[in-house]
Structure 1
Amino acid sequence: MIYNSKKIINSKIEHIVFRSLVFIIISLFAEYIIWKRITLNYQFQINIIILSIWILLVELVLSFKRMFKLHPINYWSSFLIPLTFNILYNLFIFKYLNIYFVNSILSTLIITLLIDYESGILSSFIFSVYFGLIYGFDVKFTIALFIPSAIIAIISKKIMRRIEIFLPFIIGSLVQMLCFYILDLSDTTYDYAGLFVVYFFNTLITMGILPFFEYITRVYSDIGLLELGNLNNPLLKKLTLKAPGTYYHSMIISNIAESAVEHIGGNTILARVGSYFHDIGKTWKPSFFTENQKNQNPHNKISAKLSSLILNNHVTYGQELAKKYRLPILIEDMIVQHQGTRIKQYFYKKYYDETGIYDKEMFKYPGPIPQFKESAILMICDVTEAMTRSMPDLNVNDLTEKLDDLIQSLFFEGQLDDCGLTLKELQMIKGRIIRTIMEMNHKRIKYPKIDQKNLRR
């Protein structure tokens, strides 16, 4: 245990050192590009400030974010690559166009859309400080860059359509012009007109390269998730053709999960799209899953052990498809986590009846247990939807009782230990799930039978 802890700490230190080296290299490149020289004094001054802010602020804040803990490579890449790219890109604007055309909309927008607005603000602060130092250690210039960038991050956090990206472009460019004017940095029409044009151009670049960052890092924006959730997606079409029952099951769960996640302020788009893909592994041997069975159950002809392996495979094969098609890393998580490490009770009991042996490990799903709220809610909704199929008379009282038992069972099995859901949120989720299911299964009036002759015009 001590050895593993030391190994983890050493690995974190190595990653911090690597990320710090990136900024040292950028500083060397910046001085050479702009002034055609490299001096020890300048490098020491600029790097001591940038690395102090980076290590004491950015590394510290982001290390506490759940997604950076779960997938450090993916999320650090989605933070560092856009930021580095934008700094280098603006160095050329500084050198060959005009210092007053420099702006951080490109990296701030991409990081906000991929991760969250807090990360976007952090990236804009680093960007602003960097160019403030290059400008001559000028605090006013740093402020003039940071204020519009922070505003861009805040107003971009709910963007779900590409056309909406033009709102932060308009507001950001106007605020930066205003900052330049108030701080007496520039008051020429050329500077303002040029800044507006560069802002517009950078916004177009952002819209164009965002899908490439999503594909490279497998961290998707809400825009990318919505495009991925198109029902004409090859994987979903494959699910429709090979496992139509599973497809229908996934569509129902997506409505329930989205409603529940919305109620606690989670990512509803992730919940919906993740629900679409969570059972994609059932395209391998779909007839072994009840929702796709018509007459015979093939499990009756094989051993309980083999049945358990086939059920496990829908998780592992689903993960393989997620990697192959480069689905978002969080959707891959939802595929492998939606069953957690639960025991397949039916086959566990069947094996005991046949052999007299209790073997929990043999009948556990491979896991891991849910690591974030949307994944845990998917697990609850998945089991609840399957449970409602076996209820002959669906009513609020019975559903409430069964859902209470289910959540209690998941809680005591330890399936909800790592997801971050509170007891209050579980209560909120339960109420919304019951309401959504009852609304989806409302009874219709019985239509009277009328002679067709009386219906003719």
Structure 2
Amino acid sequence: DRVAHARSRGAVFGAGLWTAGASICVFATFALFQGRFYQPETLAAAAGALVSGALLTPLVVLVASRLLQPLFGYVTGVRLLELASFNHPLLKDLIVQAPGTYHHGIVCGALVEAAAREIGANPLLARVGAYYHDIGKGKNPVFFGENRRGENRHDALAPAVSAKIIRRHVEDGVEVARKGGLPRPIIDFIEQHHGTRLIGYFFHKAREEAQKRGEPPPDEAEYRYPGPKPQSRELALVMIGDMVVATARSVDEPSLPRLSRLVAHAIQQIATDGQLDECDITLRDLAAIERSFASTLLDLSGARPEPPSEDRLPLRVLTPEPQAKLAGK
């Protein structure tokens, strides 16, 4: 268990040291009962157990895990911590190419990490997945709202073209991730964080334009992401967090009730669209996510939660009692 949940290479060597200590105790116990406690072979066996357990075994584990992770689609805690470093080349590129997207990912990571703890999911995996889920936007950053400065490039494009550009960031992200050597579990966040959701703004715009021209409505499939839908709770968290962070930017005066309504609306939209049908998330999880997201957003906004007005007690102004009344006491 110490190795499976290790968050550093030092923890792996620490587990090896515990193994070596246990082996030495076993050797010493048998040697004591056999009357060979001080024999050279006993000391040699203890030394071998120390070297093997504290040095060789951890080295084999670290090398083997590095080689076998891509083969079995598994990622260790040590590898996740490496990917969580802001000095990772892909994140350093993203902050230069698309600083708004970079900040969006960091905020999303804070949200999903706290919520993952609440529902018993993997907080580190969720946070790292949030950091990288939008790296594909680095190829065309100006077409995404968080990076836009000045004119909106989509104003000069047809809705179908805009939707294609928006959809493309998923494919671009997968391509960048593979070239950058990201493990399969992180690539899943890139592929699945939109599921098969509708790119609603451009779909409705295209439908309105078609109605004005008397043409048939556009094909909804052309305005949906390719999927797949989220397959785990961590992936569902990032999908919800991605939408919540994007919409929370429009909240002028954040408060806990207002943010709770915003998060609840996002969850309802995603669930109603069937995006959570293929993961093992429960209604209890969604309620915990709503509370956690709203609380974390409030903390990040710097606003102070205020109790409802009906719960506030009226202020009492204390005035000195008249001297005559005091004298009569």
Q: TM-score, normalised by structure 2?
A: 0.82
Q: Pick the aligned partner of 1:359 from 219, 231, 246.
A: 219
Residue 434 of structure 1 aligns with which residue?
Answer: 294
Report if aligned partners of 2:27, 2:45 keep a CA contact under 8 Å in 1. no
Aligned-pair CA distance for 1:173: 2.3
Alignment of 1:72-91 (within 5 A): none
Q: Pick the aligned partner of 1:286 from 125, 135, 141.
A: 141
Alignment of 1:10-409 (within 5 A): 154-179=1-26, 188-189=41-42, 190-199=44-53, 200-214=55-69, 219-356=74-211, 357-409=217-269
Aligned-pair CA distance for 1:183: 7.6
SS of match in other structure, 1:393: coil
Asked whether 1:412 is paired with 2:272, we answer yes
**Residues 390-437 of structure 1, C-alpha deviations (whole Å, 9 max, x = no match):** 122212212212222221221121101112111111111111111100
**Residues 87-132 of structure 1, C-alpha deviations (whole Å, 9 max, x = no match):** xxxxxxxxxxxxxxxxxxxxxxxxxxxxxxxxxxxxxxxxxxxxxx
Structure 2 stretches lacking a partner, 5+ long: 212-216, 305-329
Aligned-pair CA distance for 1:177: 4.2
Separation (CA, whole Å) in 1 of partners of 2:252 and 2:91: 30
Report if aligned partners of 1:214, 1:224 keep a CA contact under 8 Å in 2. no
Aligned-pair CA distance for 1:379: 0.5
Separation (CA, whole Å) in 1 of partners of 2:235 and 2:121: 11
Report if aligned partners of 1:218, 1:327 keep a CA contact under 8 Å in 2. no
Number of matched pairs:
291
**Residues 5-29 of structure 1, C-alpha deviations (whole Å, 9 max, x = no match):** xxxxxxxxxxxxxxxxxxxxxxxxx
Report if aligned partners of 1:228, 1:273 keep a CA contact under 8 Å in 2. yes
Aligned-pair CA distance for 1:265: 2.1
Asked whether 1:423 is paired with 2:283, we answer yes
Higher RCO (Cα < 8 Å, 6 or more apart): 2
Tell me which moved more, 328-337 or 234-243. Answer: 234-243
Residue 83 of structure 1 aligns with which residue?
Answer: none
SS of match in other structure, 2:226: coil
Aligned-pair CA distance for 1:208: 4.6
Aligned-pair CA distance for 1:216: 5.6
Residue 20 of structure 1 aligns with which residue?
Answer: none
Amino acid in structure 2 at the alignment position of 1:159: A
SS of match in other structure, 1:156: coil
Residue 307 of structure 2 aligns with which residue?
Answer: none
Report if aligned partners of 2:111, 2:241 keep a CA contact under 8 Å in 1. yes
Q: TM-score, normalised by structure 1?
A: 0.60
Residue 121 of structure 1 aligns with which residue?
Answer: none
Structure 1 stretches lacking a partner, 5+ long: 1-153, 445-457
Report if aligned partners of 1:339, 1:365 keep a CA contact under 8 Å in 2. yes
Report if aligned partners of 2:98, 2:137 keep a CA contact under 8 Å in 1. yes
Separation (CA, whole Å) in 2 of partners of 1:179 and 1:442: 57
Residue 122 of structure 1 aligns with which residue?
Answer: none
Q: What RMSD, in angstroms, separates the aligned Cα atoms of the two structures?
A: 2.2
Report if aligned partners of 2:163, 2:199 keep a CA contact under 8 Å in 1. yes
Separation (CA, whole Å) in 2 of partners of 1:371 and 1:283: 25
